[in-house]
Amino acid sequence: MTRFYDKYVLVTGGAGFIGSNFLEYFVRKYPNYHFTCIDKLNYASQCSTASLSVLKGYPNFTFIKLDLSESFSELRQLLVEDFPINQITDIVNFAAESSVDKSFSDPLYFTRNNILVTQNLLECMRLLKQQNSQISVRLLHISTDEVYGDSDILNDEQGRLLPTNPYAATKASIDLIIHSYQCSYDLSVTIIRPNNIYGPHQYPDKIVPVTIERLTKGIKIPIHGIGSNKRRYLHVQDFLDALELIWQNDESINEIYNVGSDEEISNLSLVKLICHLYDRKLTKEQINDKVQFIPDRNYNDMKYSTTCGKIKSLGWKPRIKLVDGLSSLLVE
């Protein structure tokens, strides 16, 4: 086996918001690693086509367009049969349908996609281990704090999983399936549960990019219900720093990490803050006039309360304040 690189990494869902930021950062930072991105290119990927086309010029980057929920045989060929050639030992899985709103209208599609994408990866890891127990492949799986559901009680990583929407239920389900593969097949998987993440290349169906897009187009900004639901927001770079720490630390194998900020804000306050940062001359009345209250979600988690002591014990803490992260996003 000729090894041109020190590590061969598969990044699934790497054409999405977080995945594309991950690749932009790590492909350049680790020229001694080879990164293969697999993505089906859904609606969310269109925000990162420019950055991915730049990455295609890098020798340590390969892109494969593939629907991981339907192409098990191709994935098995890449990871198992061709292991001697591709030598992929690290998998970072971002791939999922990630929109809570969309999951209300097509829950079965979310179940099929989000479960099969990840279980197909687990199956390849299982078959590879069965074929050669000396090969150790590790999966870093990106879950979400939504698996804990609506909660006033502080949840650490042992918190009960009580998802309230179809998207979150698929994420909680795959976390449980991962646990079964860790127990039954001794696979090495780390689960990471971030809170809301914002930053460049995020498709405008999430509140931060929706607000920015509507502001620039002079269209009213839709607020679900009365806007009192709260979320915590972490800049994508802070998340990547946490992910890098976890990835570099072999002690993190078979651990779960909540990764989040302490900056909790209601939806209405967030939208008003973005309007203020967009144009500090706007009066309160002018900002109020930019908002349109629309019917709420079928169920809208009021807040999430996760503790992040574990990731902080690795020396991580958020560096980018929400005001600063939003301001730089508005400039971009």
Ligand X SMILES: NC(=O)c1ccc[n+]([C@@H]2O[C@H](COP(=O)([O-])OP(=O)(O)OC[C@H]3O[C@@H](n4cnc5c(N)ncnc54)[C@H](O)[C@@H]3O)[C@@H](O)[C@H]2O)c1
* Residue 112: Cβ-neighbour burial (10 angstroms; 0-12, 13-18, 19+): middle
* Residue 179 interface partner, choices ligand X, ligand LT2EB7II, none, CB cut-off 5-8 Å depending on type: none
Per CB under 6 A, residues contacting ligand LT2EB7II are 98-100, 144-146, 195-196, 206-207, 210, 222-224, 229, 231, 267, 297, 300
**Given the complex with ligand LT2EB7II, which of 99 and 305 has the nearer CB atom?**
99
Q: How far is the CB of 53 from ligand X (least distance, A)?
A: 15
Active site residues: 145-146, 167
Closest to ligand X by CB, 54 or 135? 54
What Å distances lie between residue 260 and 37, 155, 243, 309, CA to CA?
25, 12, 12, 10
Is 196 among the residues that bind ligand X (CB under 6 A)? yes
> CA 315, CA 304: separation in Å to the nearest integer?
23
| Binding site partner of 238, from ligand LT2EB7II, ligand X, none, Cβ cut-off 5-8 A by kind | none
Which of ligand LT2EB7II, ligand X, none does 18 bind, CB closer than 5 to 8 A by kind? ligand X
HSE, side-chain direction, 13 A CA sphere, residue 331: 6
CA atoms within 13 A on the CB side of 113: 23
Q: Shortest distance, CB of residue 117 to ligand X, whole angstroms?
A: 4
Binds ligand X (CB under 6 A): choice among 60, 103, 144, 261: 144
Q: Do β-strands 230-235 and 196-198 pair in parallel, antiparallel, or remain unpaired?
A: parallel
Of 36, 60, 111, 113, the one binding ligand X (CB under 6 A) is 113
- Does 11 help bind ligand X (rule: CB under 6 A)? no
Region binding ligand X by CB under 6 A among candidate stretches 32-40, 52-60, 78-86, 124-132: 32-40
Could you tell me which of 130, 236, 132 has the C-alpha nearest to residue 181?
130
User: Is the Cβ of residue 12 or residue 60 nearer to ligand X in the bound state?
Assistant: 12
Nearer to ligand LT2EB7II, 60 or 98 (CB): 98
Q: Which of 8, 13, 121, 257 binds ligand X (CB under 6 A)?
A: 13
9, 55, 68, 75: residue in contact with ligand X (rule CB under 6 A): 68
Burial class (CB in 10 A: 0-12, 13-18, 19+), 230: middle
62 strand-pairing partners: 36
Taking CB under 6 A as the rule, does residue 256 contact ligand X? no
Which of 7, 41, 81, 312 binds ligand X (CB under 6 A)? It is 41
Helix axes 322-331, 267-278, angle to 10 degrees: 50
Q: How far is the CB of 197 from ligand X (least distance, A)?
A: 4
**Is 166 in contact with 111 (CB distance < 8 Å)?**
yes
97 binds, among ligand X, ligand LT2EB7II, none (CB under 5 to 8 A by kind): ligand X
Short-list 188, 201, 209, 190, CA closest to 274: 209
Residue with the closest Cβ to ligand X?
16
Total site size for ligand X, rule CB under 6 A: 30
Angle at 197 between CA 166 and CA 108, to 5 degrees: 15
Number of other residues whose CB lies within 10 A of the CB of residue 138:
18
Exposed/middle/buried for 284, CB within 10 Å: 0-12, 13-18, 19+? exposed
CB-CB contact of 99 with 24 (8 Å): no
State the minimum distance, in angstroms, from the CB of residue 33 to ligand LT2EB7II. Answer: 26
Please say whether the dihedral angle defined by the alpha carbons of residues 222, 225, 226 and 232, taken in this order, is positive or negative.
negative
Binding site for ligand X (CB under 6 A): 13, 15-19, 38-42, 44-45, 67-69, 94-98, 113, 117, 142, 144, 171, 194, 196-197, 203
